[in-house]
Amino acid sequence: MKQKNFYILFLFVISVSCGYDFPENDISSQYNFGEINTEKFVSIGDDFSAGVMNGALYTEGQQSSIPALIARQIAEVNEISFIQPNIDAGNGYNYYRSNSSEIFGKWIYQFSDKTSAEAQIVLTTGESITTYAGDVSNLNNLSIPFLKLSHISNNGLSANPYYERITKNPGQSTLANDIISSNPTFFYAWLGMNDILNYAINGAVSQEGDIFSEIKYTSVVEFEDNFDNLIDNLLQNQDCKGVIGNIISINDLPFFYTKPFNFLKLENGQISAAKSAIQLNKFNNGVSLHNPTAPDEDKRPFIGFEDNGLYNLYPQRLIIIDESLSDAYYPDGTPIPKYRQLIEGEIALFSITDEMVESGYGYKIPLSDKYVLTLNEIEEIQSVISSYNNIINRKVQQYPDKLVLADIGKEVHKIAITGTYDAWGQVQDNTIYYSNGIPIEGALGLNSVFSLDALHFNNRGNAFIANVFINAVNDKFSAFIPEADINDFPGNVYTVRF
């Protein structure tokens, strides 16, 4: 009995002890701006900073734009005003899929019926881009979707409807003047992604058009001139400081790594149909006659399919049209088609849809160059990105007391490789990254930081990137601005409509 009473007393002491409330450590009193003045915070960027996600600019995405999240964290230290040009759209305008006859909105994950094993990425109905009704002179977020740095001093930028909706003088004003006249005391700048990105997602194929529709990359000289002029003018204000983001490698965006170069899984019947469609025997016989007398640089590659195993379909390399191949001819003088298969290191783009594959593209019907990036094209694009980043780095180093670099490329790379799989389903890096206890990944699943267009970030991704900027500012300028809590932001979500 005495022993029993002892246990009761012991448990009572433990329960009382566990009920003790430790004093909370209120770190909010330590928040400060360090060496920066946030009286007038202005953001300068493109679609990545405007809030575009899932292929469109719509209200939810805009409210979670990277600079808006940074402003929200600044407001934890001291209240500030941060006004964005409200897009007032539920689904937005899908830049990548809308055309003159039909307007599409954002992409969503959707289960089509109760028996669906996997959600599909589907398009929503879109909305026209409307004029901003507010006072444009009060705007803090001057990020323009699909802006190039080469457009920033061009008065033709009003051909871009996202700039037209906020400009007072279409065809006359320039975004550079708008930014400089805003006279910020602290600015966020993340520019340059679109100066190369649209060219890359179009398979390194250029396209003429107006500012909104052209596809080409900005020359390094033009990039440097525009970047230098903008930053130099902003920093004429002696009180002004800024944080600048660099450019992400295309290898670290899901648009370029989701589909391996050999992602095709073909049944034996499909392989037979492909051999017949491209006249494989005739093609390879022609190549075998051409190559012995051709210089090494003019030799043509053969095409072949891997044998399927008993239980698994073997990954097959995509067949493409490569106009850079040398001319070659059959014995009767007719040209041998410029077909070849992708090789390791080349990129099959996310724009190759399941519907295209079902129709035979990539094996029965060779893909055009706009759906892939060859080794030479990848080298060209990466060289341009490297040059752009060198320009950004030099400018930051020129103003060591006023500017800090947010190394976005480095941080995104860590996440991207967790979503890079080979055709057998093996991941490049199986590390699981956590932020505030939340797993984040590079594949397009629920925990992804990337939205369903495979280019832009989702809500969670924007919070992740906002924190990279915030940490750069804190480290450089002796500030203590709290990070955004990633727990507050969803990754990709599923919808059910049936």
Residue 392 has pLDDT above 60, yes or no: yes
Which pLDDT band, with edges at 50, 70 and 90, does 385 fall under? very high
In 3D space, the residue among 180, 211, 176 whose CA is nearest the CA of residue 195 turns out to be 211
Conformational region of residue 145, where left means phi above 0, alpha means psi within -120 to 50, and beta covers everything else: beta
Question: What pLDDT does 4 receive?
Answer: 43
CA-to-CA distance for 168 and 67, rounded, in angstroms?
A: 23
Rg of the chain in Å (alpha carbons): 27
3-state secondary structure of 259: strand
The conformation of residue 291, written as its DSSP 8-state character, comes to: G
Beta partners for residue 438, in sequence order: 435
* pTM of the shown model: 0.93
Which pLDDT band, with edges at 50, 70 and 90, does 382 fall under? very high
CA-to-CA distance for 417 and 123, rounded, in angstroms?
A: 27
Question: What pLDDT does 497 receive?
Answer: 67
Instruction: State the DSSP H helix or E strand holding residue 262, giving kind and residue range, or none if neither.
Output: none
pLDDT per residue as tens digits for the range 234-254: 999 999 999 999 999 999 999
Q: Can you read off the two tokens belonging to residue 318?
A: 């995509």
pLDDT per residue as tens digits for the range 4-41: 443 433 333 333 333 334 345 567 779 999 999 999 99
Question: What pLDDT does 436 receive?
Answer: 82
CA-to-CA distance for 334 and 320, rounded, in angstroms?
A: 20
Q: What is the average pLDDT score of the chain?
A: 93
Between these two residues, 206 and 4, which has the higher pLDDT value?
A: 206
Helix axis angle, 268-277 to 280-290, nearest 10°: 60
pLDDT per residue as tens digits for the range 432-486: 888 888 889 999 999 999 999 999 999 999 999 999 999 999 999 999 999 999 9
Question: Once rounded to an integer, what is the mean pLDDT over residues 210-235?
Answer: 96
Question: What pLDDT does 496 receive?
Answer: 73
Judge contact between 67 and 82, C-beta under 8 A.
Answer: yes
Conformational region of residue 163, where left means phi above 0, alpha means psi within -120 to 50, and beta covers everything else: alpha
Residue with tokens 């910020």: 184
pLDDT per residue as tens digits for the range 326-372: 999 999 999 999 999 999 999 999 999 999 999 999 999 999 999 99
Judge contact between 473 and 404, C-beta under 8 A.
Answer: yes
Judge contact between 464 and 440, C-beta under 8 A.
Answer: yes
Which pLDDT band, with edges at 50, 70 and 90, does 283 fall under? very high
pLDDT per residue as tens digits for the range 46-86: 999 999 999 999 999 999 999 999 999 999 999 999 999 99
Question: What pLDDT does 337 receive?
Answer: 99
Beta partners for residue 189, in sequence order: 44, 244
For every residue of 154-180, DSSP letters joined together read -GGGGGSHHHHTT-SSTTT--HHHHHH
Residue with tokens 């002491």: 13
Domains of the chain as residue ranges with CATH:
29-256+375-496 (3.40.50.1110), 264-373 (no CATH)
Environment class of 5 (CB within 10 Å of its CB; exposed 0-12, middle 13-18, buried 19+): exposed
Question: What pLDDT does 111 receive?
Answer: 86
pLDDT per residue as tens digits for the range 86-117: 999 999 999 999 999 999 999 999 987 777 77
